[in-house]
């Protein structure tokens, strides 16, 4: 559907700092930046692990802020993104977010994850992902799209995630939706639909029982859920 492709370009094109998605993302990060400022006041570099992120994502934070607060960002992915350099404030870690065995307990001041947990797979993998975040981080900032927001954020199609599964599969085989290419067969359609499993409040509360849940809203609708755990300052 051309409309959903257009919406995806205009609303969630994060390389365009003027688009709605980029502006919302900057506002969403305010609690994380506050954590960094408090940690930095201790006079030590702030060690941050970003699971599933990219260096491009961090361009929404002024370089001067990262330098002033001596933020060291380790980006963990199964394979590094092509544009990531691992230089400056950044380091690369080849790892699955569900298995961070290379990282010691509480070895990072903060763990950050933005719109990743809904892509890791079934509930058991989500459990492992959340447990690893809580284990390696003294504090954390985890964001995921909210199941009860009426527009599915990956295919930009109203109510898509609330439809019966056969209807979802039929739609992705017939149309290119948002950021999703048109599926060429049923196997590809199933892989596309299963690539994102949205979560609601009870699910996030179960995954992060020691975190505080916050909401990002648009016109009163909960667009995303954030699980936050403040790192200790002592």
Residue in this structure with the two tokens 């990956």, named with its chain if needed: 154
| CATH number of the domain within which 143 lies | 3.40.50.150
Angle between helices 2-11 and 20-28 (to 10 degrees): 40
Tell me if 51 is assigned to some domain.
yes
Both tokens of 121, joined, read 């797979």
End-to-end CA distance of the chain: 53
Tell me if 76 is assigned to some domain.
yes
Tell me if 171 is assigned to some domain.
no
Number of domains in the chain: 1
User: Which sign, positive or negative, has the C-alpha torsion 113, 119, 120, 124?
Assistant: positive
Tell me if 223 is assigned to some domain.
yes
How many other C-beta atoms lie within 10 A of the C-beta of residue 41? 10
Domain of residue 140 covers 16-150+197-229
pLDDT tens over the chain, length 234 residues: 555 555 556 555 545 555 555 667 778 899 999 999 999 999 999 999 999 999 999 999 999 999 999 999 999 999 988 888 889 999 999 999 999 999 999 999 999 999 999 999 999 999 999 999 999 999 999 999 999 999 999 999 999 999 999 999 999 999 999 999 999 999 999 999 999 999 999 999 999 999 999 999 998 999 999 999 999 987
Tell me if 142 is assigned to some domain.
yes
Tell me if 178 is assigned to some domain.
no
Tell me if 192 is assigned to some domain.
no
């Amino acid at each position: 559907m051309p409309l959903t492709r257009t919406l995806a370009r205009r609303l969630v094109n994060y390389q365009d700092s003027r688009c709605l998605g980029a502006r919302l993302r900057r506002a969403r990060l305010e609690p994380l930046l506050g954590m960094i400022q408090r940690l930095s006041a201790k006079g030590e570099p702030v060690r941050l692990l970003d699971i599933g992120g990219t260096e491009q994502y961090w361009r929404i934070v002024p370089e001067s802020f990262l330098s002033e607060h001596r933020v060291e960002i380790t980006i963990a992915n199964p394979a590094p993104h092509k544009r990531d350099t691992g230089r400056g404030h950044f380091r690369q870690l080849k790892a699955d977010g569900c298995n961070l065995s290379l990282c010691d307990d509480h070895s990072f001041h903060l763990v950050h994850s933005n719109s990743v947990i809904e892509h890791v797979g079934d509930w058991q993998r989500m459990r492992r992902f959340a447990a690893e975040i809580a284990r390696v981080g003294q504090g954390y900032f985890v964001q995921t799209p909210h199941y009860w927001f009426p527009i599915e954020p990956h295919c930009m199609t109203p109510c898509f995630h609330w439809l019966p599964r056969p209807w979802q599969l039929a739609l992705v085989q017939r149309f290119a939706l948002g950021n999703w290419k048109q599926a060429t067969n049923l196997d590809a359609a199933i892989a596309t639909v299963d690539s994102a499993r949205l979560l609601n409040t009870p699910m996030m509360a179960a995954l992060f029982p020691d975190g505080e849940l916050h909401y990002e809203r648009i016109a009163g609708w909960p667009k995303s859920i954030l699980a936050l755990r403040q790192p200790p300052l002592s």
